[in-house]
Structure 1
Amino acid sequence: MDDKVLIKKGIVMTIAYAFVMSVTALAAKQAQTMIAVSTLVFWQSLFCVLVLLPQMRGRWQKRPFSVWKIHFLRSFGGFVGFLFYYWALNHIPLVEASLLRTCAPLCVPFVVLVLHGIRIPRARWLPLVVGFIGVAFIIQPTPSHLNPWHLVGFVSAIGLALSMVTTRMLSHQVSGQETLFVYFLVSTLLSLPLVFIQGDSLLLPTEVWPLVAVVSITLYVGMYLYNKAYTYAPASIVSPVSYVGVVFSGFWGLVVWGHVPDIFAILGMLFIFSSILISTRMAKKLG
């Protein structure tokens, strides 16, 4: 198939992924008014485990400890990413939580530094500085404006960055389905004790089941579209296009809750998007 056709498919898949994941966040924000975050994470993870289990039949292979170690790091990063993202959704506007989560690429060089000891090249500092200026606009770290839930939202980006780096490491050794299955299984196991620590119940009220179903189904579909997008188009194209998810989140926030981003959130959006564009252009030149 022609490269241009593949890239177009990748862009369409990315936009579809961004929209579907914005619906996930919308349903999650509403579900959390009735159940604890850990309970939601448990049920969405268990649903995806049950969907992926039949797909893994006959595909299991013996893996060395080094691979299982990366599996756990990837799963832990994804778990932290969703848990802290959902916690942030409870306390800050949807568009701001989504903006902070999209900062994950800014955190990737620091995760690589910690995991592999690879220093950040001088050329990479320009987009990083521009991006973190955008983060500062959103968080507004002054005594009169600082909201700790913005920091919680930023931790979700760190978790997502860890999962991105380790997913890349696993991609050369295991299938994408295995990576997702192990992630959702670990997420199910990690969220279970949190449910009981928070004193919540695994039994869901009847009125919350439709919302949990929407979260679980759209999450699985979103992950599928995300993987497809990366098979059709390079990361240098998928990464900036996926930023359209912030626009979808802003739309839902305006329609459902009447949230209008202030000038600082808009400036933060522009700076973060600019940093992603600079990074992708650098990646193309290096490629």
Structure 2
Amino acid sequence: MTIAYAFVMSLTALAAKQAQTMIAVSTLVFWQSLFCALILLPQMRGRWQKRPLSVWKIHFLRSFGGFIGFLFYYWSLNHIPLVEASLLRTCAPLCVPFVVLVLHRIRIPKARWLPLIIGFVGVAFIIQPMPSHLNPWHLVGLVSAVGLALSMVTTRMLSQQVSGEETLFVYFLVSTLLSLPLVFVQGESFTLPLGVWPFVAAVTITLYVGMTLYNLAYTYAPASIVSPVSYVGVVFSGFWGWVIWGHVPGIYAILGMLFIFLSILMSTRMARNRG
């Protein structure tokens, strides 16, 4: 499920990058969220249950994290190569311990700092935080990882209390509502040109399938197990970027990829040994 999720989401990014040549990011997020919510609406018939306020808070955090994750990921796609944007988004597991620290006040164990430092060294290789090389859009891509990390943690929290369909429906509904004012504030149009419909349809279908697989993966296994496998999505993104745009990762991007993957593998081994 995780490998399928990684492949399908690489197709989502591919279609989204093409769609953004014709419409604004906020408009794309609005329509993809609305269409996915409409797909899920019939599945929710007869399944609504009264939820305590604590569950709704987690729902909102999960939805907000997912919204930020996609919004900033799409923005970064416009300005940096697909493989680099995907690499930065894949740093989400590095951000998970900090999200857990904020949400649950659980301190990061000393043993976890080594893989975290190695991972962020990899991030530094990609971003190259020097005045002559720093591209602010790399930082935008890194923010998408923080949003994804928040959705990872809260999806796991919700999996014990609500169905996957409910989690996804609430997420897409909240994402629709959050993107609505953003379109107005940016002065963009809601209209979809005829030529962009195939790409929006591709984004919607692949996003729905991918998020379903994502929910299933994080329901049946912890993030520490799923994350290393989902890293294969970087390979898929690198392939599309090379075939379509001729983007070949530089030496720093490759080093960053290796450091981040090593970090995730080390974190996974620690989690398994602790289990």
TM-score (structure 1 length as normaliser): 0.93
Name which of 162, 178, 200 aligns with 1:190: 178
- In structure 2, do the counterparts of structure 1 residues 228 and 67 end up closer, same or farther at CA, with 3 Å as the change threshold? closer
Q: Which residue of 2 aligns with 1:270?
A: 258
Is residue 2:82 matched to residue 1:98?
no
1:282 equivalent in alignment to 2:270? yes
Whichever residue aligns with residue 94 of structure 1, its letter is L
Deviates further, 169-178 or 188-197: 169-178
Equivalent residue runs for 1:151-190 within 5 Å: 151-190=139-178
Contact 2:152 2:223 in 1 (8 A): no
User: How many residue pairs align between the two structures?
Assistant: 275
**Cα offset, 1:224, TM superposition:** 1.9
Q: Which runs of 5+ in 1 are unaligned?
A: 1-12
Deviations 1:193-225 (A, max 9, x none): 111111111110000000000001000011122
Gaps of 5+ in 2: none
* 16, 19, 22: which one aligns with 2:7: 19
Relative distance call for 1:114 and 1:234 in structure 2 (3 A) is closer
Q: Following TM superposition, by how much is the alpha carbon of 1:58 offset from its aligned partner in structure 2, in angstroms?
A: 0.8
For 1:89, give the aligned amino acid: L
Partner of 2:129, secondary structure, is coil
RMSD: 1.2
Offset at residue 191 of structure 1 (A):
0.4
Taking the TM superposition and a 5 Å limit, the aligned residue runs for 1:73-222 are 73-222=61-210
Q: 1:7 is matched with which residue?
A: none
Match for residue 22 of structure 2 among 34, 37, 43: 34
CA distance in 1, matches of 2:86, 2:141: 8
Q: From 250, 266, 270, give the equivalent of 2:238.
A: 250
Displacement of 1:17 after TM fit?
A: 1.3
Letter in 2 for 1:202: F
The structure-2 alpha-carbon separation of the partners of 1:78 and 1:121, relative to structure 1 and needing over 3 Å to count, comes to same
Deviations 1:40-99 (A, max 9, x none): 001110111011111111111111111111111111111000000000000000000000
| Structure-2 change in CA distance of 1:230 and 1:74 (3 Å) | closer
Deviation at 1:228, TM superposition (A): 3.5
TM-score, with length taken from structure 2 = 0.97
Task: Please report how far the alpha carbon of residue 273 of structure 1 lies from its aligned counterpart in structure 2 after TM superposition.
Answer: 0.3
Deviation at 1:233, TM superposition (A): 5.5
Amino acid at match of 1:77: G
Q: % of aligned pairs identical?
A: 87
Aligned residues of 2:119 and 2:262 also touching (Cα < 8 A)? yes
The 1:160–1:231 alpha-carbon spacing in structure 2 relative to 1, beyond 3 Å, is closer
| Structure 1 residue ranges (4+ consecutive) displaced by more than 2 angstroms after TM superposition | 225-238
- SS of match in other structure, 2:236: helix
Provide the rounded CA distance (Å) in 2 between the counterparts of 1:188 and 1:173.
23
1:232 Cα deviation from its structure 2 partner: 5.8
